[in-house]
Structure 1
């Protein structure tokens, strides 16, 4: 691959993956609305507001693949979520359609299904049960990607990221955790497989207590190697366990279940 675009490169997950993507393409184009600092020798730095259609067109031009981590990643006012996660995503897909339809990895979220209980095991065909406006925006994103695939043939991996970070931080994340190494190997598979389609992929490592079934995407060749179980003793010893009837112990969305719907000013 000649040029791979990473949006949201200044965010927590974007920053972690930015340092790991070298070698996946000759040039990594990194972008965010925030300051990104000086680019490495293999990087092409472009600051961009996803809500700016013309800027997004310039951003996507010349790219052979897109890792889309950009947008609002927490619960917020609808106007902010709408600008970044709905309008911004539509701009991205229109730019991709105008520029040869490079394959896209769309960072969806476990918050599309946050109101399922933690004692339920889910496959990719379970109906949406979003736990907030952020989750709703990711449901929209998955639907938009599916429409662009059905209507135009735009391939997208709909990755419902659980908790992608260095290590899990609480008991819920023993089920939802995805290591950086496993995410990187997933990215490699997504952009190397001959035909991708538009699959939902559950973004978690090979955790003993995982809630999600990825058997339908075995054709990708992705085999996560990490397991959150190795952190269980540490978490049991340092993190208080919530009451069994507390939302964070009942629902897959965890604390997002409790977030308020933020009023507009």
Structure 2
């Protein structure tokens, strides 16, 4: 891809009070963004944040009006009954894209997930990382909603010229909390680097990339993300010894270990993931 264009200045951040959204509120302004915050719940310490559900089309359209880009983190981030996933993650994402189309927003970064391909076998034997073009294999209704979001983004690019980078986030926490997470961890600082690259790279059309750090034990192929200009700097390996001492090594016979989706494949899912 060609050299990045100047950073979008005004960025709508949906899901601003969530885990990743909270982290990005402090990190993204360092890249020159003015954040417009939106969440279904009040955002603590942010009196100007927009409190609205994604079903509120009028408020949503007002929220996207005049922004240079959208980082869409809103929605349910764990497995839930289908009716709840349908309303928040499927219908809500559609409403966001319609608002963006109507207001002429040119770029969305969509928080997809490794759970869109959760039934893909993990390369526990040190094999090649999983490529971003691997077919959808959702592990839950949640993962299914991320498949829908990726396909919706493709439709809006093909039909309306609205560009999206769909980022299949591994696990974005200040530090990895399980042995499995050593292979899919995305540090908050690397997440900000990746989102910035996704917002500023030229000619993305609809591009699907994985969101992970430069982990020694990486399962996900980051070549697509690097093509956007992303250069991860963090590695989960410094946390490995303590986590392995606590949990032991991954067991290929454990269904929570041998697929990319991990504990989402177990019914009911087990946490932490």
Return the TM-score normalized by structure 2. 0.89
Task: Show the counterpart of 2:104.
Answer: 100
Deviations 1:82-128 (A, max 9, x none): 11111110100010001112311100000011111112631121111
Distance in 2 of aligned mates of 1:219 and 1:71: 28
From 138, 144, 149, the equivalent of 1:136 is 144
From 83, 92, 97, the equivalent of 1:79 is 83
* 1:63 counterpart = 2:67: yes
The residue correspondences of 1:160-175 to structure 2 (distance < 5 A) are: 160-175=168-183
**Could you tell me whether the CA contact under 8 Å between 1:171 and 1:241 is conserved in 2?**
yes
**Could you tell me whether the CA contact under 8 Å between 1:167 and 1:228 is conserved in 2?**
yes
Kindly tell me the number of residue pairs found equivalent between the two proteins.
Answer: 258
Superposed CA RMSD: 1.7
Distance in 1 of aligned mates of 2:132 and 2:251: 29
**Could you tell me whether the CA contact under 8 Å between 1:75 and 1:132 is conserved in 2?**
yes
For residue 190 of structure 1, report the CA deviation from its aligned partner.
1.7
Distance in 2 of aligned mates of 1:31 and 1:249: 35
**Could you tell me whether the CA contact under 8 Å between 1:176 and 1:210 is conserved in 2?**
yes
Q: What are the ranges of 5 or more consecutive residues in structure 1 without an aligned counterpart?
A: none
Distance in 1 of aligned mates of 2:268 and 2:59: 33
* 1:204 counterpart = 2:212: yes
Distance in 1 of aligned mates of 2:233 and 2:94: 34
Task: Show the counterpart of 1:20.
Answer: 27
For residue 230 of structure 1, report the CA deviation from its aligned partner.
1.5
Distance in 2 of aligned mates of 1:241 and 1:34: 39
Q: What are the ranges of 5 or more consecutive residues in structure 2 without an aligned counterpart?
A: 1-7
Distance in 1 of aligned mates of 2:95 and 2:188: 28
For residue 241 of structure 1, report the CA deviation from its aligned partner.
4.4
The residue correspondences of 1:1-265 to structure 2 (distance < 5 A) are: 1-25=8-32, 27-39=34-46, 44-119=48-123, 121-241=129-249, 243-260=251-268
Q: Which moved more, 1:239-248 or 1:88-97?
A: 239-248
For residue 37 of structure 1, report the CA deviation from its aligned partner.
2.6
Task: Show the counterpart of 2:4.
Answer: none
Go from structure 1 to structure 2 and tell me whether the alpha carbon gap of 1:3 and 1:20 turns closer, same or farther (over 3 Å shift): same
**Could you tell me whether the CA contact under 8 Å between 1:52 and 1:88 is conserved in 2?**
no
Distance in 2 of aligned mates of 1:243 and 1:196: 38
For residue 244 of structure 1, report the CA deviation from its aligned partner.
3.5
Go from structure 1 to structure 2 and tell me whether the alpha carbon gap of 1:241 and 1:213 turns closer, same or farther (over 3 Å shift): closer
